[in-house]
Amino acid sequence: MITRLLLLTLAITGVAGVAYAQSTSTTLSPSMALAGGQRHNVAITDEYGFHYDGKGDRLDAAGHIIAPPHTPPGARVLQH
């Protein structure tokens, strides 16, 4: 009984994941091509209007990856 319930739960989870992946791929911006150093698809737009690709990298308005902030070693860090 528990094995059947576990298998049913796994099957439903897998089907839901496939359905989500298919619906997400159809809502991506078709005008941005994937390639290294070129434009990336916008997968998510947050509540502030920032765009992110499927890997979580933040994108600029042209679809290029914005480098994460970097503080060099020994630099003063602002603390609040």
| Residue 55 within a domain | yes
| Residue 11 within a domain | yes
Q: Where are the beta strands (DSSP E) in the chain?
A: 44-45, 51-52, 58-59
| Residue 78 within a domain | no
| Residue 24 within a domain | yes
Residue 17 has a pLDDT of 63
Which is nearest to 55 in space by CA: 68, 46, 42, 67?
A: 42
| Residue 20 within a domain | yes
pLDDT digits (tens, 9 = 90+) for 23-46: 544 444 444 444 456 788 899 999
Span of 4-8, 12-16, 65-69 with lowest mean pLDDT: 12-16
Q: Are strands 58-59 and 51-52 parallel, antiparallel or unpaired?
A: antiparallel
Residue 31 has a pLDDT of 43
Question: Where does the pLDDT of residue 3 fall: very low under 50, low under 70, confident under 90, or very high at 90 and above?
Answer: confident
| Residue 74 within a domain | no
| Residue 28 within a domain | yes
Residue 26 has a pLDDT of 44
User: Number of structural domains, the chain?
Assistant: 1
List the domain range (segments joined by +) for residue 23.
Answer: 2-59
pTM: 0.43
Q: What is the DSSP letter of 67?
A: P
